[in-house]
Amino acid sequence: MNMLYKGEEVVVLATGGSQSRIVKVGGEDWEGFWVPTQKLSTPSIPRCLRIVDLTDELKEFIEYLRTNAANTKLYFKVISGERADMLCNQYFELTGEELVEGVGFSIQDENKQGAEGQVTFNPPPVIPDAVKEYLAPGLTDKINIISFVWLLVEQGFRVTR
């Protein structure tokens, strides 16, 4: 299990009582080093990689998005560098496919802030309440919440090519 110890990523090899045996990820430092378990923390997931929890109400909407009538399209935009690498790595982990720059994926210049995800679709006659919170302000056919786009990727959708 990967954890953080003093800001460094470590793997916990064993836990005994109030102590944990750790190894630093990517190095030989701390081999077999025992530390107080309470000093270990779980690394936080960057906002650009979080995934919305799938609820029953969202399942029904996602099934609609799979239809031809919905004409669903997914897009990612990301700043070059580490965030682009993280986004591409997560996409590959979820899909087994490489993200290729094109219609649905672009890497922006340094003035771009972070990462963005977007899904566009033809709206159903009735939009479930659980979906309304994700809609772009004033629109019924666009979601600009990256964690929702990740949910769709996790559910088998792919970036528009």
Of the candidate ranges 17-26, 101-110, 139-148, the one whose mean pLDDT is the lowest: 17-26
Q: How far is it, in rounded angstroms, from Cα 114 to Cα 120?
A: 20
**Encoding tokens for residue 99?**
């993200």
Tell me the pTM.
0.73
Q: How far is it, in rounded angstroms, from Cα 23 to Cα 11?
A: 5
Mean pLDDT score, 1-7: 70
Q: What is the pLDDT of residue 49?
A: 85
Torsion of CA 53, 134, 99, 67, to 10 degrees: 90
Q: What is the pLDDT of residue 23?
A: 72
Domain ranges of the chain: 2-41, 47-154
The pLDDT tens digits for 32-89 are 677 888 887 776 777 778 889 999 989 999 999 999 999 999 999 998 888 889 999 9
* Residue corresponding to tokens 């954890």: 3
Q: What is the pLDDT of residue 37?
A: 83
* 120 pLDDT tier (thresholds 50, 70, 90): very high
Exposed/middle/buried for residue 37 (C-beta within 10 Å: 0-12, 13-18, 19+) = middle
* 111 pLDDT tier (thresholds 50, 70, 90): low
* 113 pLDDT tier (thresholds 50, 70, 90): low
